[in-house]
Structure 1
Amino acid sequence: MEAAQNVSVIFLLGGIPELGDDQTSIAFPLCLLYLVALFGNCTILVIIKREESLHQPMYILLAMLALTDFGVSLTTMPTVLGIFCFNYNEIPLDTCLTQMYFLHALAAMESGVLVAMAIDRLIAIWDPLRYSSILTPSVIGKTGLAILLRSVFVVFPVPLLTKRFPFCRSHVLSHSYCLHQDIIRLACADTIVNSIYGLVAVLMTKGVDSMFIIISYILILKAVLSIKANEARLKAFNTCVCHLCAVLLFYIPLIGLSIVHRFGKSASHLLPILMADIYLLVPPVINPIIYSVKTKLIRQKIIKVFSVTRKRTLVSGVAAITP
């Protein structure tokens, strides 16, 4: 009976309340952010695929991160741009649950990739001579598969548990995309099972992952500080800067959003909206920029590809106007 009632449930996604009925005033910067995110992550993926010199564990893991960020951008883009470009904020329950599943699964995947990248940096600094023999293509492939399977199966029960609820209260969501903690607050039923499983899922993924990342960086710091030459120490630590930025971009908004949803009842209603937007919109934009600027080999390959493309365009243009 509840399932039948839920078929017709339409949620209303939230934009930014301060903008009132016309949400289109920030459509241009949002479109620009999505273009940068999609173009930046696609560029990273294409460069790594084309250049054989980049077929190394560090860059393959970076490609996994770029692919995950690309997926997050594609998942949020339809509803976010629907609201801010066309003032369209309706979403059926099943579509909302599908979006929710992919967002949480991709977040778990990104967390897993960040752990793998931390371990990659740890091995590179602790035992550089055995780096290639430890992180073989087979090991990287199995690691990627394990991250994917964990994310798929840990998050899979969440939409099934959520769909069974009747939604007889307000159908207005706080965010411009569907998040589990946002949907269950509208349910007219006891949501304790969802809350407990949601907490367990977070602990099994991001909780365990953050612990591994912290331990990895404690060991990395210990190894770096044991290097006597200042230049070598700085070079070793510099290899971790990009990854540290990616970790901070992912975990700080995530922790802030979780705290606000669970304990920030008296906080401004705008705070969780901004935290959620930062959590899902900023990392896909900033990560490829950081890696392109800070990673010398990636930067060189990008410059090379665009230089060749520009040269071919000029040659084609000259050929076209030459009689």
Structure 2
Amino acid sequence: MSITLIYPTPDAGWAGQRLDDVLRRSLAGREVRVARRAEELSGLAGQRLLLALPLGDTGVNLEYMRMLARLRKEPELLRGCTAGLVVDGAGELFTKSAAAEAALALNMAGCALVGRPLVEGTGSLVNFAVQAQNLGAGLMGAYHHAVQELAGRVEGEIFPKRERPEVLVLHASSHHTSNTIDLWSSVREKLEGRCTIREIGLRNGTLFDCSGCPYTMCLHFGEQGGCFYGGVMRDEVYPAVRAADALVLLCPNYNDALSANLTAFINRLTALFRQTRFYDKAVFAIVVSGYSGGDVVARQVVAAMNMNKSFYLPPNFALIETANNPGEALSLPGIQSRLDAFGQNILNTLCL
């Protein structure tokens, strides 16, 4: 199997010099096709992709902006593709935010992303300090190794399907007033009969956020399948996550952010993540904003659950809607067709 390298030409030649070297070394021996301009994104459906983004010192790449416009305009452009990302910058800023933006755009154009799809090269490469120590290599050597490992996973990843997949739904909303739960209830009707569904409400008073245990303490409790803080996370959520083939997060937009309890869930998931990876588990989301900003919340889910916690991102992983008053979401124009498509996407992703 080959990889298509989407490698937008940098604004200044120097901005791509380090990334040129990293890609040359890390992809040596692989069959690689290269697309450097937005016009070359046509005809990529079904391929394995590596987006390599040289940002320079401003966090901007104008050719990438042209690519981004195509991705946002053409929702079928990358149908059936699977991707990873390499983002290289000259400073310490912009790499992660650019990656989250790119990941969501790829996904909304029909592309899946492997778990932990991002290799990030900041200007100093200090973000590779731990990996370099573990490998007994320098910072640049760790960078090369990470890109090589990512390319291998992108090229060979096969997402599992089940006869009757387990779906875990997490929310922190009221059933009486939540537009997000209204939308999920409609999607659930489509899944019942083919999936085993479990819902857990992370309501106020049932979940405490992580206070930052030392690494060794977190690892110790994680190896025992628990967490120092115990509670619903240890007793219900951890076992449910282990058993699940997919998570569906119900995400109302609170001040352009995930709710506090969903954020606490992600933070507390670290103890479980210490002892296992979630590469074979999918994450979906239903995002509802009162006025705007659904894409901001969706990018947070991508960054936290896909880039950090290693859940894979199925194509079109998020249903993103805008509704303010209780009950309004189910009366949005065209909502039923979007709900049907979202439910069918979950079934197509998970079921044999």
TM-score (ref. length: structure 1): 0.27
Question: Higher helix share goes to which structure?
Answer: 1
For the pair shown, the structure with the greater C-alpha radius of gyration is 1
More strand by share: 2
Using structure 2 for the length normalisation, give the TM-score. Answer: 0.25
Q: Which has the higher contact order (CA 8 A, sep 6+)?
A: 1
